[in-house]
Chain A
Amino acid sequence: MRWGAFFSVMVIVALIILYEWPKMKQNPKKDKMAFFTLLFIGLVLSMFDLPHMGGPTAWIQSLFRPFGRFMEK
């Protein structure tokens, strides 16, 4: 867990909510849900040690390994 990154993301998320919320009062409920869900995903992901964690990039990379080997020659 990297607290520095987590707290800075938390501050940014708070700022985004403060900035965006007054403007989206009129928007449908679905918009608000999507807005908060995406922010929440960002916040959760920022808790991990991302550079050394497996994720979509690493999965695709291992899927395309034969091609990678072909390109290394």
Chain B
Amino acid sequence: MEKGKISSLQMAIMMYPGIVATAILSVPSITAKYAKTDFWLSPILASLIGYMTVYIAYKLHKLYPKQTVIQFSEQIIGRFAGKIIGFLFLVFYIQITGNMLRQYAEFVVDSFLVNTPISLIIALMALLCSFIVRGGLEALGRAAQLFFPIFTLPLLFLIILVFPDFEFKNIFPILGEGMMPPIKGAIVPGGWFTEFFLITFFLPFLTDQKKGMKYGMMTVFVVMMTLVVVNLIVLFILGLATSFKVYPLMSVGRYISLGGFFEHLESAVMAIWVVGAFIKISVFYYGIALGTAQWLNLSDYRPIVWSLGILLVIFSFWSLPSTVELHKYSVGTFPLLGLLIQMIIPLFLLGIAVMRKRKRQGSE
């Protein structure tokens, strides 16, 4: 179905904005609410979930090298149950991708294009992502490579430019209330880290399959470092006020003032966000398109890309009347749901697959 091939480095470059893009904007304030001044510790704890997810995805890939989760779940637990699991995965991914579209559009409308109807922004983003997904895996990999510097460099500049405003004493007290607050704060970023299971859609198409695990683990580590650094910047600038801001990194961008003329660099944060959201949504969209085509046993995924785009736009509105509801969903439902679908179910599949393999070897 997919004839394109990507390298494992490209996979890493695709997954990095795929996780970081939404995480750096909204997660600092969500984490700060639970962990107070220790919220920079939470991504470190949450990344453990990421390592486990990559490990599970890679082990499953080892057992069924040419298949994605939609296909091997049918092989592991039978056709009918496998189809149900596949359906769960697809609905889950369509739903969270719709949510990402909504988050992206809410941010753009809130901060910049105040008078633009939100449906237009969502539809345009969906259109853009449809083009790239229709171009295939190679096009997606190359686009991610192309946009990677645009995504990472503004972040580095931001760190350098806000450095004079750092208040290092904001970090104290470290672990003033014990380990519990950072652990509770790690729940929400943990949900983001489970999204690494998406590599299951890329592993079969790697040119250097053996490196898949190495690069996957490396991506988790780099994502963790980025989140820790971003959380520290936010902490040093905003301190305890972080939890009251919706987009703390935006507020940090407003602090930049260099020589009196180099100001209002929120647009740099905006650039990170728009490029990141584009890559993130495309990566998930690709997984959905490929997965749906495999689930329905189609010969190609390209014809259904546009129709799935409409579904994504619909899911970005469905049952989400306001930003408050969206926030409630991403804090109160998504972390546990993501953990359940992207880690517990694959772990369960892996357990059965390993047992079946042992049994087969035992009877021979």
Given A9-B310, A68-B332, the answer on whether A51 and B319 have CB atoms closer than 8 Å is yes
Q: Do A38 and B314 touch (CB < 8 A)?
A: no
Q: Contact check, A57 vs B329: say whether CB atoms are below 8 A apart.
A: yes
Whether, in the assembled complex, B299 has its beta carbon less than 8 Å from a beta carbon of chain A, the answer is yes
B300 at the interface (CB under 8 A from A): yes
Please report which residues of chain B, range 296-339, place their CB below 8 angstroms from some CB of chain A when the two chains form the complex.
296-300, 303-304, 306-308, 310-311, 314-315, 317-321, 328-329, 331-333, 335-337
A38 touches B304 (CB 8 A): yes
Given A38-B311, A39-B310, A41-B311, answer yes or no on A57-B320 (Cβ-Cβ < 8 Å). Answer: yes
Number of A-B contacts (CB under 8 A): 111
Closest Cβ–Cβ distance, residue B156 to chain A (whole Å): 33
Which partner residue on chain B sits nearest A45 by CB separation?
Answer: B314
Q: Across the interface, do B95 and A57 meet the contact criterion of CB distance under 8 Å?
A: yes
Q: Name the contact of A53 in the complex, choosing from B187, B319, B329 (C-beta under 8 A).
A: B319
The total of chain A residues at the interface (CB under 8 A) is 41
B207 at the interface (CB under 8 A from A): no
Q: Contact at B336–A20, with CB atoms within 8 Å? A: no
Cβ contact of A68, chosen from B298, B303, B308, B333, cutoff 8 A: B333
B residues in contact with A27, CB < 8 Å: 299-300, 303
> What is the interface size of chain B, counting residues whose CB is below 8 A from a CB of the partner?
36
Asked whether B91 is an interface residue with its Cβ less than 8 Å from the other chain, the reply is yes
Contact residues in A for B333 (Cβ distance below 8 Å):
60-61, 64, 67-68
- Which single member of B298, B314, B332 contacts A67 (CB below 8 Å)? B332
- Contacts A30-B297, A31-B299 given: A38-B337 contact, CB under 8 Å? no
Query: Given the complex, which residues of A lie within 8 Å of B152, measured CB to CB?
Result: none
| A72:B332 contact, CB within 8 angstroms | yes
B321 and A52 within 8 A (CB): yes
Residues of A contacting B332 in the complex (Cβ-Cβ under 8 angstroms): 61, 64-65, 67-69, 71-72
A residues contacting B by CB (< 8 A) are 5, 9, 12-13, 16, 19-20, 23-24, 27-28, 30-32, 34-35, 38-39, 41-43, 45-46, 50-58, 60-61, 64-65, 67-69, 71-72
Interface residues in chain B, defined as those with a beta carbon under 8 Å from any beta carbon in chain A: 91, 95, 99, 119, 123, 187-188, 292-293, 296-300, 303-304, 306-308, 310-311, 314-315, 317-321, 328-329, 331-333, 335-337
